[in-house]
Amino acid sequence: MSCYDCQNLRSLSSYLIILLCVSGSKMLLSQHAEYKVMTFNIRYDNPDDGENIWSKRKNHVMEILQWYSPDICGMQEVLYQQLEEIKLTLPDYQAVGVGRNDGKREGEFCPIFFNVSRFSLLEHNTFWLSETPSIPGKSWDAALPRIVTWVKLIDNKYKKEIYVFNTHFDHVGTKARSESARIIYQKVSEIAGSNAFIIMGDFNLTPEAEPIVFLASQYQDAYHATKSQPFGPFSTFNGFLPAEVPDKRIDYIFLPPNIEVQKYGTLSHTWGGKFASDHHPVYCEFINRK
């Protein structure tokens, strides 16, 4: 074989390698991203919870998280000490969030955990569900300060951006919950725009309540959007009772219209007849085709 032929062969090989790399990149970018997400009110570390105190059930919370290994998990009622314990148990995850009382460590967090092998963090922040969203505090008839923690992530596998919003609505204020739904709608529109997003959390409201009806008119409620039969009980609140409290679906995952929900489940595992929290985690698998 002549030197000229060798040069041509090398040039052809290089061209084919470049072509394969470019084609592979285009195929990856065109693939539909699949996600596993969870929202979980883990119940704050309350020393008055008797047999259900955190020290007796925290391992069960960890087992659920490790077994289902969601790509993204939004939690509620997490105190700083609980957050640190969970972070130690989930070394493959990064957590983002602040305490609702001072924007630092005080009060309950609504942290977002995401798998660092799957995502990189681009941006994050927290806003308050009040008339002054950038300042810690409460408004209207709210009993306590309430927050939304959000992140902007880049999917390292599919090179797609996705926003996640995690919240916990007030348990008392009727007006506060109504206004909170409007604030979330406004903020999600401002922050995420036309990008893919997830809204999740404990909304302390059942599906027929006006704020939930409003949110469900703007977004997909994963419970109703799933292509398969919803798994597990309807209610997401159990109050540490031996069975679910009837008609208490108060934890939700909302998604934009272009998202395809493949699976939805309310996970009601027990250990010796006891639940891991007074809420069941809600689990969802979906496809982002954008």
Q: Is the pLDDT of residue 51 over 50?
A: yes
pLDDT tens for residues 180-203? 999 999 999 999 999 999 999 999
- Three-state DSSP at 161 gives strand
CA–CA dist 287, 35 (Å, integer): 6
CA–CA dist 173, 191 (Å, integer): 26
Q: Is the pLDDT of residue 10 over 90?
A: no
Q: How far does CA 65 lie from the centroid of its chain? A: 12
Q: What are the backbone dihedrals phi and psi of residue 65, each rounded to the nearest 5 degrees, phi first?
A: -65, -40
Q: Is the pLDDT of residue 25 over 70?
A: no
Q: Is the pLDDT of residue 237 over 60?
A: yes
DSSP character string of 47-67: TT-GGG-HHHHHHHHHHHHHH
Query: What is the band of 88 on the pLDDT scale with cuts at 50, 70, 90?
Result: very high
Angle between helices 54-68 and 80-89 (to 10 degrees): 40
Query: What is the band of 5 on the pLDDT scale with cuts at 50, 70, 90?
Result: low
Mean pLDDT of the chain: 92
Contacts of 4 (CB under 8 A, 6+ apart): none
What number of H helices and E strands is found in the chain?
6, 14
The pLDDT value recorded for residue 59 is 98
pLDDT more than 70, % of the chain: 89
Contact predicate 96/110, CB 8 Å = no
Compute the chain's Rg from CA coordinates.
22
The pLDDT value recorded for residue 20 is 44
For 20-160, strand residue ranges (E) read 33-41, 72-76, 93-96, 112-115, 119-128, 147-155
- The mean pLDDT of 244-261, rounded to a whole number, is 95
Contact predicate 274/51, CB 8 Å = yes
- The mean pLDDT of 211-237, rounded to a whole number, is 97
CA–CA dist 260, 19 (Å, integer): 32
Q: Is the pLDDT of residue 19 over 80?
A: no
- The mean pLDDT of 262-283, rounded to a whole number, is 97
Q: Which of 120, 116, 114 is nearest to 36 (CA)?
A: 114
The pLDDT value recorded for residue 115 is 98
Sign of the dihedral through C-alpha 43, 220, 36, 80: negative
In terms of residues, how long is the chain? 290
Q: Is the pLDDT of residue 7 over 80?
A: no
The pLDDT value recorded for residue 91 is 97
pLDDT tens for residues 135-170? 999 999 999 999 999 999 999 999 999 999 999 999
The pLDDT value recorded for residue 2 is 54
Contact predicate 70/64, CB 8 Å = no
Q: Is the pLDDT of residue 133 over 70?
A: yes
The pLDDT value recorded for residue 243 is 84
Sign of the dihedral through C-alpha 207, 209, 212, 216: positive
Q: Is the pLDDT of residue 28 over 90?
A: no
Q: Is the pLDDT of residue 1 over 60?
A: no
